[in-house]
Amino acid sequence: MPTGSDNKFKARQVTRPRDQVEQQLREAILDGHFGQGDKLPPETELAQQFGVSRPTVREALGALVSAGLIRKVPGVAGGSFVNSVTPDSLSQMLSESMDTIVRIGALDIAEITAVRRVLEIPAAQWAARNRSDADIAKMRSVIEQQKRTTIDDPDIPEYDLRFHTAIGYASGNRLLGAFIAAVHDATHPAQFLDVTSDVAKKTIRQHIAIVAAIESSEPEAAAAAMNEHLDYVLQYSLPNAS
């Protein structure tokens, strides 16, 4: 682990001092000089190494926090720590980036569904090959929650997110799972669905069929069931949903 005596940083000619500090710290993290969980030097020490003020260092650290590279921990034993990348943290970072894109320019349900096909049909296939009993239990648990819900339940998009994310991670590819989770978290595809009692029941039956194919280790059947489900979601989406 790097120590406070490591004087790795030096001033560069850049437009703003804050940019100089942020860029060199970013490079040090990405190059592995600071590993996951490592504590960065204190603000006062960084200010001395860079030849800038503490507020400038603080601004640079704030930018790295926003980028998801570090976290600030308060208290005597606190400071700035390099984030550990887990499937959940990766999903959160991806989701935040996607959320910005979604807010800047509205996406329609057809675009979202097209991306879901690229991600979720292969995920269902891989899940049929790689799933564990715990993965199946997680999917079935969500389905049981969906069975008990009403069509006006505000948690419907959350249940949908949990179900499809469970399939993503069951694929055995954590990056694929993180992308699926991020797409659902940023866009909540279920919010576009014209949810009637019949549509809700049909959706649950489709979820059951997907899980059955995955549990039976039938990749092609799982892919077909997921494709049918996405067709149905697109067909019964609200007009002009975006």
Residue spans of the domains in the chain: they are 17-82, 87-235
Q: Span 87-235: which CATH code? A: 1.20.120.530
Tell me the backbone φ, ψ of residue 69, rounded to 5 degrees: -85, -35
Q: Say which amino acid occupies 208.
A: I
pLDDT in tens, 85-136: 776 666 676 666 666 666 656 667 788 889 999 999 999 999 999 999 999 9
Tell me, what's the pLDDT at 14? 47
Tell me, what's the pLDDT at 127? 98
Biggest CA pair distance of the chain: 67
Domains 17-82 and 87-235 share a fold: no
94 — alpha (psi -120 to 50), left (phi > 0) or beta?
Answer: alpha
Q: Please give the structure tokens belonging to residue 58.
A: 């603080």
Q: Is the whole-model pTM more than 0.75?
A: no
Q: Name the class of domain 17-82.
A: mainly alpha
| Residue written as token pair 């570090």 | 70
Q: How far is CA 196 from the centre of its chain?
A: 29
Tell me, what's the pLDDT at 171? 97
Under DSSP, the state recorded for 147 is: H
> Mean pLDDT of residues grouped by 10 in the chain (242 residues)?
61 73 91 90 94 94 86 89 76 67 67 92 98 98 94 90 96 92 85 87 97 98 98 82 51
Residues 6+ apart with CB under 8 A from 32: none
Tell me, what's the pLDDT at 76? 82
Tell me, what's the pLDDT at 140? 98
